[in-house]
A and B are shown apart, each in its own frame.
Chain A
Amino acid sequence: MKVSKKIVLLGYFGVGKSSLIRRFVENTFSEDYKVSIGVHIFKKNITIPEKGTDVSLVIWDLEGNDDITNTRLSYLLGTHAFIYVYDVTRPATYKNLENEINFLKEKQKNTPITVVGNKEDLVTKAYLKQNSNDFGSLTDFYVSAKTGDKVNFLFSNLAEALIK
């Protein structure tokens, strides 16, 4: 059985959304920052062995902005899951985390949202603990597109949850 799921990545610009997708789809990483505009769409098939299911993940890499309410709603149509990405090193990218998540919940009530803090390779565990008041309670896990840490887990975990 093969199913297709649309996953949309959102968040402030420069947080590493495209890098996370590139790490997952192509297993590559570049330090160069190229601004994404509009939408880039990628596809990757993964198998969930326990379910005997192939899942085709259609991943939408949305242009980052500093206010989620500016996101074009047409991009969100038919989304099965959101991944909200912020940069653990830049407070501007998580200072409105709660409002941004609430906006998504309001727009698409039943769509699951996974919140990840990217660039965890640049900070220490103590830093993450110290700043947990700002983002800790909302974050599902910390990832690193650069090292690949938890990137596959992020997508495969999501795919598994979506076919339950």
Chain B
Amino acid sequence: MLEEYKKKYTKAVVQYSILDFNGKVIESDNALFLDFKNNYIGDIHPFFDSLNSLLIAEENEITIPCIHLNIADKVITADIILKTFGDGKNPLLIIHDLTTHYINYQATAQVRNESVINSQILELKNTYLKEKEAFKNIFIANFSHELRNPLTGILTFTDILRKTSLERQQKDYIQIINSSSLYLKKMIDDILDISKIESGKLELSIEPFNLLELLNEIKSNYKIKAEQKVLEFNYNFDDNLPEIIGGDAKRLRQVLTNLLDNAVKFTNNGSINFNVSLNQLRAQKASIHFEIIDTGIGIKEEDIKAVFTRFTQVSGNDEYKGTGLGLAIVKHLVEVTNNKVNVSSEFGKGSTFSTSINFLAKKSLAINVPRKKTIAPFDTSKKYNILLVENSEITQLSVLKILASQGHFFLDIATKKDDVLNTISNFENEVDLVLMDIKLEEHTGEEIAKQIRKLPDLHQRKVPIVAITAKVFKDDLKSYKKAGINDVLKKPFNESQLLEIIYNNLK
């Protein structure tokens, strides 16, 4: 009975065939394929062609797995075994049908390979995107650098011109040039900030600072700006606000001034309210709530999300000029502190922007609050030799005019490394300070600074070096410090910024 069932239900999976040494099938059990007998194996399927050279009278066994065979409309995937013998017996060909096994294997391989290929493609796309992003950021950094040189010239000479004898109308024109230049400077700064944020290079510093001083200063500035537009300016600073907190004062100022700028810009009637309150004060943390309420043009509900998108202005009105970067920067800056900016608005009635930001509380701050920088006292009876290393004629002229107006500076200008080293090495005319541009033609400012620090004379190699540059990313600052540069003046600069940094660095 069992034998009968076996015979009835067993599905053949192996075919045995005996071949002669020319590849002709002498005998076959026809278990898988019929009509093998008397045919040459090479004619049955091209795969078997490859076996002809292996039909030798030597003891050998070769297995060739996973061969797809399509013979007389029957398709299988099989392992092929060829046995040859040394005793003169004919070769034996075994075809082992493993179709089911290989179908499962194929399905697994399909999933695996597709997933590997997809992840490789994704990785490649990411690489391209990163390259594109890096190119954009380098482009922005270089382009803004190129803009800063002429802007320094405009701002400096506006300052100088303002001090000359002018008619009222001319003074008004100077004021327009000045405010336009400052506006342009702000746009360049904003674009650089966005570029820094998007490239992940923006890091917040945590330094102790005087919150109340900062708020009062901002309040005073915006009170004037609001009054210039005949707007009411109210403020309410919580009495419980801590005076000293730890955080990034520069970035907090940027957030608040961007929000207040926005409020002043989009409000033509009514008021602006600037409220700051303490959420909670713990041993380590101070959570402070900032709120700016205006009675301006307001935002349509469908546009609220878009106000934080860069280069977007939802007002759709040319009257309100701007790059549309301010609120995008605010959003990113607040998000870096793991907080968010909330906005509620009623179209035509006004908007409220608010955020809560965590700062370090005074108790957890180990260091003292730095006092506001003041210009160090200096000996006015002495003349100081300043060496300017700069190839931009505009900047050369700007520095020359500013220093000449002070009456106690001599200025030398050099653009090449050898000239710089020769000037500093001159014992008869010692250089008191070097103002060093970074992007020079033959060498970078850092390279020249390193050479200065290797000069044989102690006094000469210790000369203070101040970089004047637009490249002020964190990595740049580290690199300047490593090159022995003492301080950095960011382009564009004005008269007081230049003088302050010179006085602070003169020995």
Q: Check A72 against B117 for contact (C-beta < 8 Å).
A: no
Which of A42, A66, A90 is B124 in contact with, Cβ under 8 Å? A90
Which of B49, B66, B121 is A39 in contact with, Cβ under 8 Å? B66
Given A14-B117, A63-B66, the answer on whether A38 and B77 have CB atoms closer than 8 Å is: yes
Q: Check B102 against A37 for contact (C-beta < 8 Å).
A: yes
State which residues 1-47 of A face B: CB under 8 Å. 4, 6, 13-14, 33-35, 37-43
Q: In which size bucket is the chain A interface?
A: 20 to 34
Q: Check A37 against B54 for contact (C-beta < 8 Å).
A: no
Interface string of B106-124 (1 = CB under 8 A from A): 1001100110110011001
Q: With an 8 A cutoff between CB atoms, is B9 at the interface?
A: no
Give the residues in chain B near A138, CB-CB below 8 Å.
none
Q: Check B63 against A14 for contact (C-beta < 8 Å).
A: no
Once the chains are docked, how many angstroms separate the CA of A63 from the CA of B112? 14
Q: Check A78 against B113 for contact (C-beta < 8 Å).
A: no
Name the residue among A6, A35, A66 with the largest chain B CB count within 10 angstroms. A35
Q: Check B68 against A13 for contact (C-beta < 8 Å).
A: no
Give the residues in chain A near B63, CB-CB below 8 Å.
74
Given A37-B102, A63-B66, the answer on whether A77 and B50 have CB atoms closer than 8 Å is: yes
Q: Check A72 against B65 for contact (C-beta < 8 Å).
A: yes
Once the chains are docked, how many angstroms separate the CA of A75 from the CA of B47? 10
Q: Check A90 against B121 for contact (C-beta < 8 Å).
A: yes
Once the chains are docked, how many angstroms separate the CA of A20 from the CA of B271? 73
Minimal beta-carbon separation of A133 from chain B (angstroms): 16
Closest B residue to A14 by beta carbon equals: B117
- How many residues does chain B have at the interface if contact means C-beta atoms less than 8 Å apart? 28
State which residues 72-127 of B face A: CB under 8 Å. 77, 102, 105-106, 109-110, 113-114, 116-117, 120-121, 124
Q: Is the interface of B mostly helix, strand, loop or mixed?
A: helix
Q: With an 8 A cutoff between CB atoms, is A58 at the interface?
A: yes
Closest A residue to B68 by beta carbon equals: A40
Once the chains are docked, how many angstroms separate the CA of A66 from the CA of B117? 11
Q: With an 8 A cutoff between CB atoms, is B177 at the interface?
A: no
Q: List 19 A-B contacts (CB under 8 A).
A: A4-B49, A13-B113, A35-B109, A35-B114, A37-B66, A37-B102, A37-B105, A37-B106, A38-B68, A38-B77, A39-B47, A40-B68, A41-B68, A58-B50, A63-B66, A66-B116, A72-B65, A77-B62, A78-B50
B residues with CB within 8 A of A:
42, 45-47, 49-50, 53-54, 62-68, 77, 102, 105-106, 109-110, 113-114, 116-117, 120-121, 124
A residues with CB within 8 A of B:
4, 6, 13-14, 33-35, 37-43, 58, 63-64, 66, 72, 74-75, 77-78, 89-92
- Given A37-B66, A37-B105, A41-B45, list of 20 further CB < 8 A pairs? A4-B49, A6-B49, A13-B116, A13-B117, A14-B113, A38-B65, A38-B67, A39-B66, A39-B68, A41-B68, A43-B46, A58-B47, A63-B66, A77-B62, A78-B54, A89-B124, A90-B117, A90-B124, A91-B124, A92-B120
